[in-house]
Amino acid sequence: MTHNAQPTASHFVDGTYVEDASGTELPVIYPATGEQIAMLHSATPAIVERAMQSAQRAQIEWSAMTGTERGRVLRRAADIIRDRNRDLSVLETLDTGKPLQETLVADATSGADALEYFGGLAGAVTGEYIPVGNGDFVYTVREPLGVCVGIGAWNYPTQIACWKAAPALACGNAMVFKPSEVTPLCALKIAEILVEAGAPPGLFNVVQGLGDVGAALVSHEATAKVSLTGSVPTGKKVASAAAAELKHITMELGGKSPLIIFEDADLENAVSGAINANFYSSGQVCSNGTRVFVHRSLRDAFVARLTERLGNVVMGNPLDEATNFGPISNAAQLGIIESYIEKGLMEGATLAYGGSRIAGDGYYIEPTVFTDVTDAMTIAREEIFGPVMCVLDFDTEDEVLARANDTEFGLAAGVFTRDLARAHRVIGAIKAGSCYVNTYNLTPVEAPFGGSKSSGIGRENSKEAIGHYSEVKAVYVAAGDVEAPF
Ligand code: NDP
């Protein structure tokens, strides 16, 4: 069966689809079959300029509206997304290869949640009144930053576009968004839907391209803020470029998060948590708990039950709703994952499950579990961004805490135990931004999401995001005469 996902044009700028065929060709590949499903073009400097100029114009109009009016547009967009959930989910599956079973519940719906939540908050973005004596007072105003640039990774193209656009727009900003060139299709639909919901043309533009287009957007003089979801090396480059012009940033970067399973954990829940922490979206989730520390006394039972349950994986056609494990999103990433599996074997880890690529044109690789992993091994130190779980044994709480924190990353962490005092003590001592007790990888829009250390700067979602897409103006108002020294 052939699939065609060719959009009307490559970019969505100033309320309409635009093409400039002189840009470098960007073929879009369906990872389940390796077939080309669309051909797009990278944005030329002229397209980038049009996007930035229309965003500047739209931002002036948009920020003059009340928060409640802006919120209404965002909530309308959320409703449209929910109405079209199936079509948007099929597109996300074609774009990423993720099973429809997942995309139907975790992608467009998560984007709609963000638009609904921040739509509701938009009218509540207010300042405060601060009395300072003698009738004088200061009032504060939370103002938009201007034009924000969003740059996305390829694992959650719809969700990432909405998680960035929703708080940015709620605060009165405009956004120019560059999807990963691997998954360029879904953000175009969000741009279309926002216009349909009543957003002024230019408020949310999508331009395609590789890192050079992202870099051009970051360094553009009209860009006030950059929000990137990507790897740590790209984050360092983008943050440096933004810092050179003192632009605001939010960085959502990679991780190598610890999931700690104590001897008193509910085994079935711990295994479920570890599965969700490693194999959802075929392991391409930044917050994955890929270092699974299991207490030595529970380890054999844990590995036995885990490998038994991995027998229930249904790998295959992602558009079949029975499939629960899809291909890797692109061939380059598949190669990276295979090379990490080889390194794991070379460095002495035991392959307890999987490890092999599935023959054929799709980018499939088995869910993989390594045991006997030590902290120094490459597979325990570097982010793999694929379905590779490392099981590490431990004996004491102090030991596992020190080992869990011994990483440059700090995105997420989880603990499974029935001892609540221990759960809070351990999570309290872990250096990570998004933590879990007796569950893993849930990201409701109401909760802040993001990392510490090399995993990021700033937070997405929740009321926290408002602070990252606005800045405060303080206004001192005098009630009396002005004293001066001469
Ligand atoms: P990359 O870092 O390779 O790319 C991220 C985005 O940045 C892409 O759109 C890329 O464009 C663009 N880019 C690359 N170079 C530059 C540059 N110099 N200036 C501006 N933009 C640039 O990440 P991946 O797409 O490979 O995504 C995987 C990574 O994302 C993983 O490390 C993962 O952990 C992280 N991630 C983090 C999340 C979080 O919330 N913390 C969530 C999801 C993923 P192009 O791809 O077109 O080259």
- 355, 344, 369, 383: which is closest to 257 by C-alpha? 383
Query: Can you point out the beta strands (E) in 87-144?
Result: 129-133, 136-144
Asked whether 257 lines ligand 1 (CB < 6 A), one says: no
φ, ψ (nearest 5 deg) of residue 485: -70, -25
At residue 41, what are phi and psi to the nearest 5 degrees?
Answer: -125, 145
What pLDDT is stored for residue 255 in this prediction?
98
pLDDT digits (tens, 9 = 90+) for 327-367: 999 999 999 999 999 999 999 999 999 999 999 999 999 99
Convert the pLDDT of each residue in 433-478 to its tens digit.
999 999 999 999 999 999 999 999 999 999 999 999 999 999 999 9
Give me the pLDDT at residue 1, please: 64
Nearest to 169 by CA among 115, 216, 107: 115
Res 379 pLDDT > 70 = yes
286 carries an active-site annotation: yes
Stretch 80-85: mean pLDDT, rounded? 98
* Whole-number percent of the chain with pLDDT over 90: 100
Residue nearest to atom 12 of ligand 1 (CA): 211
Nearest residue (by CA) to ligand 1, atom 42, is: 286
pTM for the whole thing? 0.97
Q: Which of 162, 181, 212, 229 to mutate to test the pocket of ligand 1 (most atoms within 8 A of CB)?
A: 229
CA 229 to centroid of ligand 1, rounded, Å? 6
pLDDT reported for residue 48: 98
Residue 231 CA, closest ligand 1 atom number: 32
Task: Please enumerate in sequence order all residues whose Cβ is within 8 A of that of 243, keeping only pairs 6 or more positions apart, or say none.
Answer: 249
Q: Is the CB of 168 under 6 A from ligand 1?
A: no
Q: Is 432 in the pocket of ligand 1 (CB under 6 A)?
A: no
Q: What is the pLDDT of residue 2?
A: 82
Alpha carbons 94 and 289: distance in angstroms, whole number: 26
Catalytic residue, chosen from 92, 98, 162, 164, is: 164
Q: Is 192 among the residues known to form the active site?
A: no
The confidence score (pLDDT) of residue 247 equals: 98
Determine the average pLDDT of the residues in 165-170: 98
Residue nearest to atom 40 of ligand 1 (CA): 252
**Among protein residues, the one whose CA lies closest to atom 4 of ligand 1:** 230
Alpha helices (H) along 184-263: 186-196, 211-219, 232-244
pLDDT, one tens digit per residue, over 51-69 is: 999 999 999 999 999 999 9
Tell me the CB-side half-sphere exposure of residue 82, using CA atoms within 13 A.
Answer: 12
Q: If pLDDT is split at 50, 70 and 90, which confidence band does 408 have?
A: very high
Summarize pLDDT for 242-293 with one digit per residue, the tens: 999 999 999 999 999 999 999 999 999 999 999 999 999 999 999 999 999 9
Tell me which of 48, 149, 182, 231 to substitute to probe ligand 1's pocket, judged by most ligand atoms within 8 Å of the beta carbon.
231
Average pLDDT over residues 23-33: 98
Q: Are strands 204-206 and 147-151 parallel, antiparallel or unpaired?
A: unpaired
Question: 453 an active-site residue?
Answer: no
C-alpha atoms less than 13 angstroms from C-alpha of 223 in its C-beta half-sphere = 28
CA 445 to mean position of chain CA atoms? 12
Q: What is the DSSP letter of 320?
A: S
Host H or E run for residue 225: strand 223-229
The residue whose CB lies within 8 Å of the most ligand 1 atoms, and thus the one to mutate among 40, 41, 96, 180, is 180
- Whether 92 contacts 160, CB under 8 Å: no
pLDDT digits (tens, 9 = 90+) for 83-96: 999 999 999 999 99
In whole angstroms, give the CA distance from residue 477 to residue 139: 8
Tell me whether residue 260 is exposed, middle or buried, using C-beta atoms within 10 angstroms of its C-beta: 0 to 12, 13 to 18, 19 or more. buried
| Cα-to-centroid distance, 42 and ligand 1 (Å) | 16
Residue 460 annotated in active site:
yes
How many residues belong to the chain?
A: 486
* Matching residue, tokens 């088995």: 366
Dig out the tokens for 434 from the structure. 């998004």
Mean per-residue pLDDT of the chain: 98
